[in-house]
């Protein structure tokens, strides 16, 4: 869960907030209905909260730059150029993810970042496995288009 939150948000403070919100949401969900797969539920909730935070972040700071997370700096980095390139790519992808509809963004993250199966994703999102394929296809197409634009913007 921590990994999911941190991977999508990219800094320590937001990941901590997302971690907390996810557990509170999980508690509320547990009260409403019975849970069969807790790890999948936590992954989905963490993904949803993280995407919400990403949206808020990009909406709030369109003209600002992202604050650097100095705590995440590693001493054994590869070369700075490679690090900068990776950061640029991941930031672009995060921004594109924040523009997707929530369900598509969730499906994409659960499949490609959390390696969940179609069946698990379908169970979590309350849809059929075929619909997961459609969601993923749409998400990839939209992401690619948005990502190309953001990469051009960076260039």
Span interacting with another protein, options 3-11, 48-56, 60-68, 128-136, rule CB under 8 A: 3-11
Kindly state whether residue 59 participates in binding another protein, applying the rule CB under 8 A. no
- Residue 115 CB, nearest distance to another protein (Å)? 9
Question: What is the number of other CB atoms lying within 10 angstroms of the CB of residue 39?
Answer: 11
Residue from 68, 72, 84, 102 in contact with another protein (CB under 8 A): 72
Nearer to another protein, 15 or 51 (CB): 15
Residue from 36, 60, 65, 71 in contact with another protein (CB under 8 A): 71
Q: What is the DSSP letter of 63?
A: S
Tell me the DSSP string of the chain.
-HHHHHHHH-SHHHHHHHHHHHHHHHHHHHHHS--S-HHHHHHHHHHHHHHHHHHHHHHHTSSSPPPP-GGG--TT---HHHHHHHHHHHHHHHHHHHHS-HHHHHHHIIIIIS---HHHHHHHHTS-HHHHHHHHHHHHHHHHHHHHHHHHHH-
Nearer to another protein, 97 or 132 (CB): 97
Which positions from 38 to 57 touch another protein by CB under 8 A, shown as an x/- string?
A: x---x---------------
Q: Are 92 and 154 in contact (CB under 8 A)?
A: yes
Span interacting with another protein, options 49-57, 89-97, 120-128, 131-139, rule CB under 8 A: 89-97
Residues that bind another protein (CB under 8 A): 1-3, 6-7, 10, 12, 15-16, 19-20, 23-24, 26-28, 30-31, 38, 42, 71-72, 74, 86, 89-90, 92-94, 112-113, 143-144, 147-148, 151
């Amino acid at each position: 869960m921590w990994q999911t939150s941190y991977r999508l948000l990219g800094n320590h403070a937001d990941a901590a907030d997302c971690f907390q919100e996810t557990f509170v949401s999980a508690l509320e969900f547990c009260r409403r209905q019975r849970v069969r797969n807790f790890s999948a539920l936590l992954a989905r909730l963490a993904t949803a909260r993280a995407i919400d935070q990403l949206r808020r972040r990009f909406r709030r700071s369109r003209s600002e730059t992202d604050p650097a997370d100095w705590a995440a700096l590693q001493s054994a980095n590869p070369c700075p150029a490679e690090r900068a390139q990776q950061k640029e790519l991941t930031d672009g992808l995060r921004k594109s993810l924040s523009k997707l509809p929530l369900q598509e963004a969730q499906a994409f993250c659960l499949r490609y970042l959390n390696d969940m199966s179609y069946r698990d994703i379908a169970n979590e999102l309350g849809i059929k496995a075929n619909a997961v394929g459609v969601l993923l296809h749409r998400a990839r197409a939209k992401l690619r288009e948005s990502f190309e634009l953001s990469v051009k913007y960076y260039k």
